[in-house]
């Protein structure tokens, strides 16, 4: 290998030399240092495939990282290239204050800049936990180098007193039962030992599973690569094969812009709806598409959802777990059902089209996890887009995980002005609330919280939960974990902290939700709203005058812009941004 590709551009160790003003010296010095780790000139003359290692002592979802790096290295070397692993930051849901979403863009910048700064001809990115995969795809899309996504894979289920349990739908179910007094202190301690029985990402159709599957549908992952459990031999074989494909991608210069096209994003959105995927998936796909200069049209997304039913019987919309979906054939079983709705000509990382990959997949067989289109789990797509005077820029509801009797509902607002306010008052015996009221949470959006935390799954007030009430209509500008369920309106845009109408709601106002008509309406007259608008004061955040928090608050876009930073999107779409623009 000469160290130059067919266009005579430098490749391998000769790429992106450090600037010393003398290219020969820069290469001499670089090789001298890497030889300190025992490499030969023969090894250093090979194409280089980077491997993004996001292992961390705080990230149990990535607990199999070392084995996957090793397997990917094996595949890269079998294909004749040199693997070089390197770290980036790692973000775990439960170990990120204030919220992992606050750090996603930082991880995407780290990924982009490390891919760009270091010499590699292609890159294998290993992520898994919710925000890591979108961060890596955003970074790779901007870096423009051939890139392939590998995920750590879902965890297996645990067992608690004879019932199968798994993070995190069952975490929420048991906690809600504990709050309602149905589960005692001993049982909540016992189940805490069983909910995450091993390494891997959440084993239901949460954000991690959703992002893995939409990434495969997008074409950025090895076909069949999204569902294998973290601890399985399949997962290691996928890693080895991913390494081999990365070498091929480097030779073909198969860059992300050739795969992540507008049509590929439509395929990904179609799959997102059909799997009953996490609402976070829409925000992340908006951010990834934004990096490619593509805007996701919420109206088009809603229109797709009217034709695409939910086909996958996984929690929280259904009954089963990711290991069951893998045993049922994985994503290709879903893709076969969706075939008439997909653009089969989209390219994948293999260099073949999505249609060719579906044809080449192992034959289908009888199973009961993915339903036929005429017997769906839910008759429409998992999500619906709402608009109205309460959400001029749109809002989302995961209708497949909502209560049918609350889909059309009018009620009195019970308002919490912040997450802290909610935590302080929601369980107070004097809270003026009934089961027919609508809980409203303000200032929990991208700027308001900040970081748009997963606070949209507001707890049912304890005195209402004690009556056996499991669901109420809840509305916020926050996000919700993909593992949660309920009649919960999210991502209200523009957010309250940016002067959106959600911030103008007061206790006792009437709100009307009509999912069938895709409407969300605040029944307060305009003159009164104008008056309240004059009194609006944006929330202040401690520590917002410096560092990453300042960058975040100055630059973050609204939900319809994927909560990316404005300066990370290509200039071509910045001027078109609607509520996605920061102000």
Residue ranges that bind ligand FES, judged by CB under 6 A:
61, 92-94, 129-130, 167-168, 201-202, 206, 208
224: region left, alpha or beta (phi > 0 left; psi from -120 to 50 alpha): left
| Shortest Å distance, C-beta 131 to ligand FES | 9
| Shortest Å distance, C-beta 91 to ligand FES | 9
> Among residues 130 and 560, whose Cβ is nearest to ligand FES?
130
> Among residues 115 and 155, whose Cβ is nearest to ligand FES?
155
Find residue 76's DSSP bridge partners: none
> Among residues 62 and 491, whose Cβ is nearest to ligand FES?
62
With vertex at residue 33, the alpha carbon angle to CA 29 and CA 39, rounded to the nearest 5 degrees, is 120
> What is residue 412's DSSP assignment?
E
**The pair of three-digit structure tokens given for residue 5, joined into one six-digit string:** 């590709």
> Among residues 209 and 493, whose Cβ is nearest to ligand FES?
209
> Among residues 61 and 126, whose Cβ is nearest to ligand FES?
61
> Which of 103, 326, 143, 136 shows the shortest CA–CA distance to 220?
136
Name all contacts of 361-367 with Cβ < 8 Å and 24+ positions apart: 361/223, 361/224, 361/329, 361/332, 362/329, 362/332, 364/329, 364/333, 364/336, 365/329, 367/327, 367/328, 367/329, 367/333
| Shortest Å distance, C-beta 62 to ligand FES | 8
Q: Which helix (H) or strand (E) holds 305?
A: helix 298-307
C-alpha dihedral sign at 258, 573, 207, 267: negative
| Shortest Å distance, C-beta 99 to ligand FES | 12
> Among residues 202 and 259, whose Cβ is nearest to ligand FES?
202
> What is residue 155's DSSP assignment?
P
Radius of gyration of the chain (CA): 24
Residues ≥6 apart with Cβ < 8 Å to 306: 380, 381
| Shortest Å distance, C-beta 315 to ligand FES | 13
| Shortest Å distance, C-beta 238 to ligand FES | 18
> Among residues 166 and 494, whose Cβ is nearest to ligand FES?
166
The maximal CA–CA distance of the chain, rounded, in angstroms, is: 76
| Shortest Å distance, C-beta 127 to ligand FES | 10
CA-to-CA distance for 252 and 261, rounded, in angstroms?
18
> Among residues 129 and 221, whose Cβ is nearest to ligand FES?
129
> Among residues 91 and 304, whose Cβ is nearest to ligand FES?
91
| Shortest Å distance, C-beta 61 to ligand FES | 3
| Shortest Å distance, C-beta 367 to ligand FES | 24
CA-to-CA distance for 564 and 254, rounded, in angstroms?
25
């Amino acid at each position: 290998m000469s160290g130059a590709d067919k266009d005579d551009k430098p490749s391998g160790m000769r790429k992106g030399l450090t600037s010393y003003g003398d290219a020969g010296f820069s290469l001499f010095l670089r090789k001298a240092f890497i030889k300190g780790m025992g490499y030969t000139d023969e090894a250093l003359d090979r194409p280089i495939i980077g491997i993004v290692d996001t292992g961390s002592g705080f990230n149990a979802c990535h607990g199999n990282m070392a084995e996957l790096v090793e397997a990917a290295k094996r595949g890269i070397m079998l294909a004749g290239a040199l693997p070089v692993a390197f770290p980036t930051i790692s973000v775990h849901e439960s170990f990120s204050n204030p919220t992992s979403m606050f750090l996603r863009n930082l991880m995407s910048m780290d990924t982009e800049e490390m891919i760009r700064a270091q010499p590699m001809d292609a890159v294998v990115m290993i992520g898994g936990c919710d925000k890591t995969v979108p961060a890596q795809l955003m970074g790779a899309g901007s870096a423009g180098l051939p890139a392939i996504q590998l995920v750590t894979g879902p965890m297996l289920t645990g067992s608690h007193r004879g019932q199968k349990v798994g993070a995190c739908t069952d975490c929420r179910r048991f906690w809600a039962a504990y709050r309602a007094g149905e589960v005692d202190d001993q049982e909540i301690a016992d189940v805490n030992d069983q909910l995450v029985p091993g390494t891997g990402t959440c084993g239901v159709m949460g954000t991690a599973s959703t992002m893995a599957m939409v990434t495969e549908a997008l074409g950025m992952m090895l076909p069949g690569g999204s569902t294998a459990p973290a601890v399985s031999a399949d997962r290691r074989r996928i890693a080895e094969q991913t390494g081999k494909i990365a070498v091929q991608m480097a030779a073909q210069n198969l860059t992300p812009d050739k795969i992540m096209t507008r049509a590929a994003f439509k395929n990904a959105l179609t799959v997102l709806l059909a799997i009953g995927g996490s609402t976070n998936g829409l925000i992340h796909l908006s951010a990834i598409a934004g990096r490619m200069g593509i805007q996701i049209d919420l109206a088009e997304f809603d229109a797709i959802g009217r034709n695409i039913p939910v086909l996958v019987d996984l929690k929280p919309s259904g009954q089963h777990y990711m290991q069951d979906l893998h045993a049922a054939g994985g994503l290709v079983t879903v893709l076969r059902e969706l075939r008439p709705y997909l653009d089969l000509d989209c390219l994948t990382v293999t260099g073949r089209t999505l249609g060719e990959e579906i044809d080449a997949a192992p034959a289908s067989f009888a199973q009961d996890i993915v339903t036929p289109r005429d017997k769906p789990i839910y008759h429409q797509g998992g999500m619906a887009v709402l608009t109205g005077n309460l959400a001029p820029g749109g809002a989302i509801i995961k209708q497949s995980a909502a209560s049918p009797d609350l889909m059309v509902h009018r009620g009195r607002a019970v308002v919490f002005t912040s997450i802290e306010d909610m935590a302080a008052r929601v369980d107070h015996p004097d809270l003026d609330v009934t089961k027919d009221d609508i809980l409203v949470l303000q200032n929990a959006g991208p700027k308001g919280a900040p970081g748009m935390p997963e606070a949209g799954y507001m707890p049912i007030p304890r005195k209402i939960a004690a009556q056996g009430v499991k669901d109420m209509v809840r509305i916020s500008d926050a996000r919700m974990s993909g593992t949660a369920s309920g009649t919960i309106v999210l991502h209200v845009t523009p957010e309250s902290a940016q002067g959106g109408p959600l911030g103008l709601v007061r206790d006792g106002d009437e709100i009307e939700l009509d999912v069938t008509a895709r409407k969300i309406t605040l029944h307060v007259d305009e003159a009164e709203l104008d008056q309240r608008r004059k009194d609006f004061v944006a929330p202040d955040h401690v520590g917002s005058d410096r560092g990453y928090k300042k960058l975040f608050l100055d630059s973050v876009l609204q939900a319809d812009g994927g909560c990316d930073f404005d300066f990370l999107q290509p200039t071509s779409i910045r001027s078109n941004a609607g509520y996605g623009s920061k102000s």
